[in-house]
Amino acid sequence: MRIFNQIGFGNLKGDVFGGVTAAVVALPMALAFGVASGAGAEAGLYGAVLVGLFAALFGGTPTLISEPTGPMTVVFTAVIVALMVPDPATGVVAENAMAMAFTTVMLAGFFQVMFGVLKLGRYVTLMPYTVISGFMSGIGLILIIIQLPGLLGHASPGGGVMGSIEALPGLFADVNAGELLLGVVALGILFLMPKAWRRFMPPQLLALVVGTLLAVWFIGSGDYRAIGEIPSGLPSITVPTFSADEWMTMVINALVLAMLGSIDALLTSVISDSLTRNEHNSDKELVGQGLGNLASGMFGGLPGAGATMGTVVNIQTGARTALSGLVRAAVLGVVVFGASGLVESIPKAILAGIAIKVGIDIIDWGFLRRAHRLSMRGALIMYGVIGMTVFVDLITAVGIGLFVANILTIRRLSDLQSEHVRVLGQAEETGGSDYEGLDSDEKRYLTEAGSRVALLDLSGPLIFGAAQTLTRQQNRLDSAQALVIDLSGVPHLGVSAALVLERIIRDAVDRGSRVVLSGAQDQPRARLEKLGVAQEVRPDDWLASRSEAVRQACSAPEATA
């Protein structure tokens, strides 16, 4: 597998233009997410540069733009809020709280690299859509709620979602009119900017420029909350020490970040594929994302993932290789290392408005409107995940959502598999009414044999969901003096179903009944042989044709006695 991403110079103009445009779009978003997280605007810039650089170099999607995203920022904000809670005994926040937060980002990057090395990319996005939709919509609501104080002209009250909700009545009573106006102007530009204009200037950048000019000219510097001084260059690396309990906390939070970042990136890679008609390498992409987050956390940057908006803009402006991602990182690097003074006067209310618009866009409005029409159970799962994401915590929301969704899926699969397990024949008990699917010779043989011969007709892959149905059907086979088990339509036999089938065969043999198997494909036959069934069934009773198996069973001495 090649180490570097697809970096080429055959599309130089398109890649450079795409990278520059993506950088222009990324700047206001990075600043907004940095301020929203509580780590500072510089953390957003560091994350935008480092995650984007390493993901472009080592990823598996040439045109993917990686940077701090709304979902990753919300999760990281929750991590910071939890770590900044004062100790109940001393009332002091842990000295290494922020070091723990950024170490969590590094661990998340390490886990993502491991996901890629272990080739888990294809499995990362195998989650029920109801859970993904509910989780993302919940994250969107969290981002809106925690940015409302900033929109109203106040610093974050702390305490995460509940702290912001509890503080809102007081904040509304003491609104900073100037800053609220700036936030409303930003939202107005983001929502109302004509599509034709968006081809020439990203609405986020226009909101940033117009809002900053209004603040400087009409409100006056010092009379509104601005970003303030941003340190030039990357911070130095320090090596803190942590206790075993602190490591456990960081590992759990890092796994959540790693999973969310992987899902976010790979879903965006799919979007990139659809626009460029290419196919990404999921495992390689996870390695690139992990290296990016590892570097970002090391230097105090926000965690990031594939960003849909930046990726789409990058592709639409001509990018086709990972050179665009490198150009984007270089442009943002210039801001970090030499032009950070240009962003010091940007109002935080403008950034709050940009973040709120991102939160609104994250909410899955299309599925929210239609979920109840598609499946009431699915809708309830989605609403439950939204509620737990907002008011409980992210881990619980995903865990319970996945558990409930998988239980319902297993139940549905069991119901579907029960349709592929049928007992045919035994005409004296059923009046011959259950001969559907048999040819004329098979019907004749079974009719003449009456209840002395039973045909267990199986089809489709039989996994654990079919085991219970097989067990229920076993009672109908007890009176048969010969049993035909047709496996011709079974490509795969799961362990649970194989064990039940083994019990049915052994019970029949113990009663003195003859067992004939037909059409066993390689995997089912190998599994039954490993269970020792070959010792119970005569070698000449393994037949390829169901018709031949039925004829042989009906003519057996056991069935004609």
Q: How far apart are CA 328 and CA 15, in angstroms?
A: 10
CA atoms within 13 A on the CB side of 208: 23
pTM of the model: 0.77
Find the helix packing angle between 308-316 and 323-338, rounded to 10°: 110
Exposed/middle/buried for 255, CB within 10 Å: 0-12, 13-18, 19+? middle
The three-class DSSP label of residue 366 is: helix
Q: How confident is the prediction along the chain (561 residues), in pLDDT tens digits per residue?
A: 577 888 888 888 889 988 998 998 888 889 999 988 888 889 999 999 999 999 999 999 999 999 999 889 988 998 998 888 776 666 666 678 889 999 999 999 999 999 999 998 888 777 788 888 888 899 889 989 999 999 998 888 877 788 889 999 998 888 888 999 999 999 999 999 998 888 778 888 899 889 989 998 888 777 788 887 777 766 777 777 788 888 999 999 999 899 989 988 998 898 888 888 888 899 999 999 999 999 999 999 999 999 888 898 889 888 899 999 999 999 998 888 777 677 788 898 999 999 999 889 989 899 999 988 888 888 998 999 999 988 887 778 878 888 888 788 777 777 776 777 888 765 444 444 456 667 787 888 888 877 788 888 888 888 777 777 888 887 778 778 888 899 888 898 888 889 988 998 898 888 888 899 998 889 989 998 898 887 888 888 888 888 888 888 887 665 555
Q: Strands of 421-425's sheet, edge to edge?
A: 421-425, 453-459, 482-489, 514-518, 542-543
Find the helix packing angle between 12-37 and 348-362, rounded to 10°: 110
- State the DSSP code for 318: T
Q: What is the residue whose two structure tokens read 């080739």? A: 119
Q: Which residues contact 313 (CB under 8 A, 6 or more apart)?
A: 18, 21, 22, 25, 65, 202
Counts of helices then strands in the chain (DSSP H, E): 25, 7
- Region of residue 158 (phi > 0: left; psi between -120 and 50: alpha; otherwise: beta): left
CA distances from 348 to 33, 144, 209 (A): 11, 15, 13
Is residue 485 within 8 Å of 516, Cβ to Cβ? yes
Q: For residue 303, what pLDDT is reported?
A: 96
The long-range contacts involving 442-445, CB below 8 angstroms and separated by at least 24 positions, are 442/546, 442/547, 442/550, 445/550, 445/551, 445/554
Q: For residue 89, what pLDDT is reported?
A: 65
Tokens for 78, please give them: 């929750």
Residue 457 pairs in a beta bridge with 422, 486
Q: How far apart are CA 383 and CA 492, in angstroms?
A: 36
Q: For residue 561, what pLDDT is reported?
A: 53
Residue 454 pairs in a beta bridge with 425, 483
CATH 3.40.190.10 fits 419-560, yes or no: no
Q: Can you give the residue ranges of every domain in the chain?
A: 13-84+93-234+241-409, 419-560
